[in-house]
Amino acid sequence: MHEEQPASEQPALPGQKPHQDIPTVGEWIIAAVGLVLVVSTIGFLLLQALRDNAAPPHITVVPESVDRTRNAYLVTIRIMNRGEATAASSKVEGELSNGAASVETSAVTIDYVPLRSQRRAGLYFQNDPRRFKLRLRPKGYRHP
């Protein structure tokens, strides 16, 4: 295919096209790096897509620390999703109990816990959690 320079398309410009038309080695290196990045992104997603990941969210909650604040006790918690789906609006409840009797409950809702990821949150209690048995449990979630 042989082409003519369409001079009418850019009347305001001096026609200096040809001299820049041969790509340099540097250009090819940048292009190669770009290609590797794009192809590896596609490859990674393809690998993930081909795995069987129909498993629902699997939420677990663990306490991290207990702190005394001015007018309450704060239990910081970590919410982990070990499942293969993202959980939205997952509610977590913490309960302080003394033997069979429930002393106090507290709850928090986490907007999103993505699959195989974790989020941090905190629960406030009026009673000292260290003096009772603390139980943390996920109550439910919504499909995003």
Partner 1 sequence: MIFSFPTLMTQEMWELGSSMSHFRLALLLLLVLPLLMGLAYYMGFEDSFIDTGNLLHTFGSYGIGFVSAAIMLLLFAVIGPGMAVHEIVGRIALQAVPAAIGATLLHNDLGLWERHAEHAERKRQHAPYIGQVFLMVVGTIFLAISPASTIEMVLIAYQMTEWHALALIFTTLLVMHALVYAVQFRESAALSAATPFWSAFLRFTVVGYAIALLVSAYILWTFGRLENTAETESIKAVVVLGFPAALGAAAARLLL
Q: What part of residues 32-91 is at the interface with partner 1 (CB under 8 A)?
A: 33-35, 37-38, 41-42, 44-46, 48-49, 86, 88
Give the interface segment with partner 1, choosing from 6-14, 61-69, 96-104, 123-131 (CB under 8 A). Answer: 6-14
Contact string 12-31 vs partner 1 (x = CB under 8 A): -x--xxxxxx-xx-xxx-xx
Q: Which 3 state secondary structure label does DSSP give 79? A: strand
In the complex, least distance from residue 10 CB atom to partner 1, rounded to whole angstroms: 7
State the number of binding residues for partner 1 (CB under 8 A).
Answer: 42
**Which residue matches tokens 């038309």?**
21
Under the binding rule (CB under 8 A), the answer on residue 9 touching partner 1 is yes
Could you tell me the two tokens for 29? 């290196």
43 vs 36, 37, 39, 50, 80, CA distance in Å? Answer: 10, 10, 6, 11, 27
Amino acid in the structure at residue 89: S
**Which residue matches tokens 């993930």?**
48
In the complex, least distance from residue 26 CB atom to partner 1, rounded to whole angstroms: 7
